[in-house]
Amino acid sequence: MRELFDEMAGKSPLDPQEAVRQAARTPQRKRFYKEAGVAEAEGGFAITLDGKPIRTPSGRQVVIPSRALADVVAAEWAAQRETINPLGMPLTRIANSVVEGVVDRVELVSDDLAKYFQSDLLFYRAGHPEGLVAREAAHWDPVLFWAAETLGAHFILSEGIMYVKQPDEAIQAARAALPNDPWSVAALHVITTMTGSALLALALSHGVRDANQVWAAAYVDEDWNAGKWGVDEEAAGRRAARLRDFQAAVTVLAAVKPPAAKGP
């Protein structure tokens, strides 16, 4: 089990792309259990294999706060056939990452996530053609307007790829809007890595944009080029792999998000 989780985590528990590369390089292990299940545990729910709870490489028991989320993680284990394929277990990789690398350092991970506010995808705009300029504005401007009007985070836009320093006040305002529980922070970190935009991840967590809107916004430029020049099959394959991790992170975020407060 320890070796298997090492393979799933890769070099960094917060880098899903590295985890995928590591898993792809490592020979798959034979399935060593008959049944995967869920059991109540202190602080939530444990994933069990033949009745025994799974643990991280450091020996920590993987405890998931939501029963619904625990069920889908267990389903990943149950779906494995003769060999275990970590590439098909993105929720398990996130769960392991949270327990192993985020629970004890939520603030540090949040600080790392907040660094993306310094050079977010949404800040750097095309100067032409007009169709692409308009499409970027349609997908990105509502998120920037929300950040400015609701969070008080006023960011600076730039044409092209020339770096522009963002106001410290804007970065701090956006940082203050991040959640403070390890599961949500980890999910947002994955979403940010997969999209290149911490602002899109933040908008998703606040319900300003849904998952489909966020994914479309993250690939405005790529989709524009595909529409003009055709789809690059290799790039499409990489994108499909990123989408799998993105969807897993969205599932985690939705499962641990507190229910909205009811009105009077």
Residue 37 has what pLDDT? Answer: 97
DSSP 79: T
| Poorest-pLDDT segment among 5-9, 24-28, 155-159, 187-191 | 5-9
With residues binned 3-state (H G I as helix, E B as strand, rest as coil), the percentages for the chain, rounded to 5, are 60, 10, 30
Find out whether 129 and 206 touch, Cβ atoms under 8 Å: no
Average pLDDT over the chain, rounded to an integer = 88
Residue 63 has what pLDDT? Answer: 96
What's the pLDDT tens digit per position in 10-66?
A: 444 556 555 555 555 566 789 999 999 999 999 999 999 999 999 988 889 999 999
Global pTM reads: 0.87
Find out whether 173 and 148 touch, Cβ atoms under 8 Å: no
Find out whether 236 and 230 touch, Cβ atoms under 8 Å: no
The string of DSSP codes covering 1-50 is -HHHHHHHHTT-TT-HHHHHHHHHHSPPEEP--S-EEEEEETTEEEEEET
Residue 73 has what pLDDT? Answer: 96
Round to whole Å and give the CA distance between 157 and 59: 46
Which pair of structure tokens corresponds to residue 148?
């400015």
Q: Which residues of 83-114 are buried (b: 16+ CB within 10 A; e: fewer)?
A: ebebeebbbbbbbbbbbbbbbeebeebbeebb
Helices 16-25, 2-9: crossing angle, 10 deg rounding: 120
Q: Which domains does the chain have, with CATH numbers?
A: 2-102 (3.30.2180.10), 106-256 (1.10.3580.10)
Find the mean pLDDT for residues 93-109: 93
Round to whole Å and give the CA distance between 62 and 74: 11
Residue 24 has what pLDDT? Answer: 53
Residue 2 has what pLDDT? Answer: 40
Residue 221 has what pLDDT? Answer: 93
Find out whether 204 and 211 touch, Cβ atoms under 8 Å: yes
